[in-house]
Amino acid sequence: MAITRLGIIMNGVTGRMGMNQHLIRSILAIRAQGGVSLSNGDRVMPDPILIGRDPDKIAALAREHGIERYDTDLDRALTNKTDTLFFDAATTQMRPELLKRAIAAGKHVYCEKPIAVNLAEALDIARAAKRAGVKNGAVQDKLFLPGLMKVKMLRNSGFFGRMLSVRGEFGYWVFEGDLQPAQRPSWNYRAEVPLALCAR
């Protein structure tokens, strides 16, 4: 069994969503479980470098979670060829520029939603990634919630008739671990779920 290192530049992880959802409950949880197992028996182990504007805050976060690599200089981090993935959970207004810088540095990009504040900027990022030959994606987990998939199926079937307007209200459905144990909904990582959704 071989272990492949995946260097991830993680920007914006001192904020609540970046720290709790993406760093602690995702990357650190994956590391604690021994990485991600591949079908051939090999494993991929994430190796994050934390990037933040406040040197004291980013250093304290890294120390608290046993992460060796952290910095306040994003440009320096982007020059490291062994870190191939850029993740951003910082402010939405800065995201298009940050993603373009990462793409220009040859990094695959993944970010919190939305990727931009308007469609033109979002398309520009997607086109830049395609031209550079890098993969790109955003956290779009809510689109695949079972309830939303059911509503989509009903709409497509004509069940609601002619729709004049729609209003959706959402809450945060993943338990964060402060009042009760943390929980990850199984539908977002079970292999059979995406296949079942695609078949609809």
Provide φ and ψ at 12, rounded to 5°. 85, 25
In eight-state DSSP terms, residue 188 is G
The model's pTM? 0.76
Evaluate the omega torsion of the peptide bond into residue 46 and state whether it is cis, within 30 degrees of 0.
no
Residue 72 has a CB neighbour count (10 Å cut-off) of 16
**Inter-CA distances, 30 with 14, 27, 129, 143, Å:** 19, 5, 26, 23
Long-range contacts of 28-36 (CB under 8 A, 24+ apart): 28/65, 35/3
pLDDT tens readout for residues 132-166:
999 998 887 677 777 788 888 999 999 999 999 88
50 with 24, same domain: the answer is yes
Element (H, E) at 108: strand 108-111
Domain that holds residue 175: 142-199
Do residue 102 and residue 150 come from a single domain?
no
pLDDT, tens only, 114-128: 889 999 999 999 999
User: Is the Cβ–Cβ distance between 98 and 110 less than 8 Å?
Assistant: no
Same domain flag for 57 and 89: yes
Provide the CATH number for the domain around residue 24. 3.40.50.720
Angle at 71 between CA 66 and CA 77, to 5 degrees: 115
Residues 36-65 have a mean pLDDT of 95
Of 56 and 146, the one with more pLDDT: 56
